[in-house]
Structure 1
Amino acid sequence: MIKVIVSVLLLALLCCGIGYQQLQAALSMPLNVTNSTLFKVDRGTGFNQLCKQWQSKQWLDSCFKFQVLAKLDPTLTDLKAGLYELDSTSVIDNIRRINQGAQVSFSFTIIEGQPLREVITNIAKQTHLKQDLDEENLAKQISNKDENLEGWLFPDTYHYHSEDTASSVLKRAYSKMQTELDNAWQNRAHDLILNSPYEALILASIIEKETGLASERPLISAVFTNRLKSNMRLQTDPTVIYGIGADFDGDIKRKDLTTYTPYNTYKIKGLPPTPIAMPSRAALLAAVNPPESEYVYFVAKGDGSHQFSKTLKEHNRAVQQYQLNK
């Protein structure tokens, strides 16, 4: 009888040892994918279902070992829906990634100086992003206001996960612009000619479009501020181009400068009715803190920089030198 008991105990120990070795091997067993692979975990997916999906793809040879591990560690069965990047690390490491909700992240960038139409076109091309924008009621959808959304989306890179919506990304950009504009307005010059944060947003968008060198933003702001103070027209080409819209062929003509639109600052006095692009933080700060300057003119040199002038005579000379090459 004792021999039988000893034999049974030895057999049990042997089985336990083999089982332990099998579980240890399972802990380090790699997932059989050759490259990093995107895999979607649907809402409600259970551990056994996930394991069978991977087995059907021949990413692992058996589910049994992992089902035993899941019995020993129930946290493995807590699967979070989403899109994940799987790799050839261990099966358990890949499952842990899903347990932690470490989804693959994508990004969308709004570039400084982009107009709204380009932002909407670009976000519509984003992969793994639900396209839910209501273009006819876009401002209401994003800002909950009946306002022009131009200028209100802060230029930055926004990260998102699969199944996030385009509107949620733009709402974040809108909220960030509200914060940045409020911060800039709170730190505005005490004698600023602008009457509201929205006017600052408009001017900042013009500064953004006129600036080739970041270091020139303050001087560009000073020129426009001096013009506003003197009741001079801003006479800035980017506003004219914005007013032409989709019909602009890339070449601004004399007739464009003489044809009235609400954005033709050669024809109207003061600021246009809305921003013309998405301004950066630097442009916002330049708009509300223009340096003291007597400059009221500037002309592009052709290398991204500008020649600034205090008088029309100086300006005409600069035009001759840099634009007409005389």
Structure 2
Amino acid sequence: MLKVTLSVLLLAIITSVFGYQQLQATLHSPLKVANNTQFEVKKGTGFNQLCKQWQANNWVENCWRYQLLAKLDPTLTDLKTGLYALNSDSVISNIKKINNGQQVSFSFTIIEGQALREVLAAIKNANNLKNDLKEQQLSQQILGSDMHLEGWLFPETYHYHNNDTISSVLKRAAQKMQQTLDTAWQQRAQNLPYKTAYEALIMASIIEKETGLASERPLIASAFVNRLNTNMRLQTDPTVIYGIGESFDGDIKRKDLRNYTPYNTYRINGLPPTPIAMPSKAAILAAVNPPTTEYVYFVSKGDGSHQFSTTLKQHNAAVKTYILNKKN
């Protein structure tokens, strides 16, 4: 009887040791894939189906061990749909990545100063985004209003997952711009020539396009504010270019300055009807809190910076120095 008991006990120990070893082998068995192998878990995929797909790809040798483990830990069967980057870590760690919804992340960047048509062209070519845009109802779809979408997409990098929609990314960009503009407008300076936050957004877009030098944005803003406050026309080339549209060939001609468009600030008083680009936060802050100066003129030095002047005489001298002399 004692020998039988010892035999049974020994068998139990051996079985336990073998079971423990099998458990450890299952927990640490690697998934046989190259790192960053993309795999899509489609809607309705179950645990057994997932394992069989991996077995068919020769990523796992068999499924019974993982099916048994899933009986012990039912949370492993909670699979979240999406696109995942698998690696050669353990099978279980890859399954837990799917349990936790750690999908592959993609990104799209709206660049400061981009026009709406440039943003739309770029995002339609972005990887793994569904194009659900309603071209004839774009403003309603993104803003929930008929306001022109130009200027309303905040320049930033936006992360998204496989099969997210273009509209969902643009809505986030619009919400970020609205929040940024609202905050800046609440902190605006006194005696600005804008009646609404939207007019400040228009000005910010012009500032954004007028200079590529971030440190000059406040001075550009000051000069434009001074012009509007003294009933001068803005006379800024970027608005003219925007009014010309896609037919612009890269060179502003005298006829372009004479031709009337709603955006030709050499011909119209005040601001154009809409923004002309996507302004940065810095440009918005410059528009609503410009420094106090007497500048009303500025001319490009040709190196990205500008020479600012308070009188027409000073401006003409600067034009002669930086523009006319270089042409001679």
Alignment correspondent of 1:165: 165
What runs of 5+ residues in structure 1 fail to find an aligned partner?
none
Q: How does 1:173-252 map to 2 (within 5 A)?
A: 173-252=173-252
* Amino acid paired to 1:50: L
Structure 2 stretches lacking a partner, 5+ long: none
Who is 1:11 aligned against?
A: 11
- Look up the equivalent residue of 2:71 and give its one-letter code: K
What is the one-letter code of the residue matched to 1:252? I
Which residue matches 2:307?
307
Shift of 1:5: 4.8
**Alignment partner, residue 131 of structure 2:** 131
Q: Could you tell me which residue of structure 2 aligns to residue 277 of structure 1?
A: 277
CA apart distance, 1:16: 2.6
TM-score, scaled to structure 1: 0.97
Q: How many residues align?
A: 326
Paired residue for 1:20? Answer: 20
Q: What is the CA distance between 1:37 and its match in structure 2?
A: 0.6
**1:115 maps to which residue?**
115
Within 1, Cα distance between the matches of 2:45 and 2:2?
50
Q: What's the counterpart of residue 78 of structure 2?
A: 78
2:130 counterpart SS class: coil
| 1:323 match: secondary structure | helix
Residue-by-residue CA offset, 1:92-116 (whole Å, 9 max, x unaligned): 1111101111111111111111000
Identity of aligned residues (%): 70
Alpha-carbon distance, 1:4 to partner: 4.2
Q: Which amino acid aligns with 1:108?
A: F
Q: Aligned Cα RMSD in Å? A: 1.2
Question: 2:292 matched to which residue of 1?
Answer: 292
Q: Residue 144 in 1 paired to residue 144 in 2?
A: yes
TM-score (norm 2): 0.97
Provide the rounded CA distance (Å) in 1 between the counterparts of 2:124 and 2:92.
36
Match of 1:104 in 2: 104
Q: Could you tell me how far apart the structure 2 residues matched to 1:192 and 1:276 are?
A: 20
SS in 2 for 1:324: helix
Once residues 191 and 269 of structure 1 are traced to their aligned partners in structure 2, the CA distance between those partners, rounded to angstroms, is 18
1:43 paired residue number: 43
Partners of 1:88 and 1:254 in 2: CA distance: 64
Report the Cα distance in structure 2 between the residues aligned to 1:128 and 1:34, rounded to whole angstroms. 21
Deviations 1:217-261 (A, max 9, x none): 111001111110111111100000000001011111111111110
CA shift for structure 1 position 135: 1.3
* 1:258 paired residue number: 258
1:43 CA drift (Å): 1.3
Deviations 1:58-92 (A, max 9, x none): 11111111111111111111111111110111111
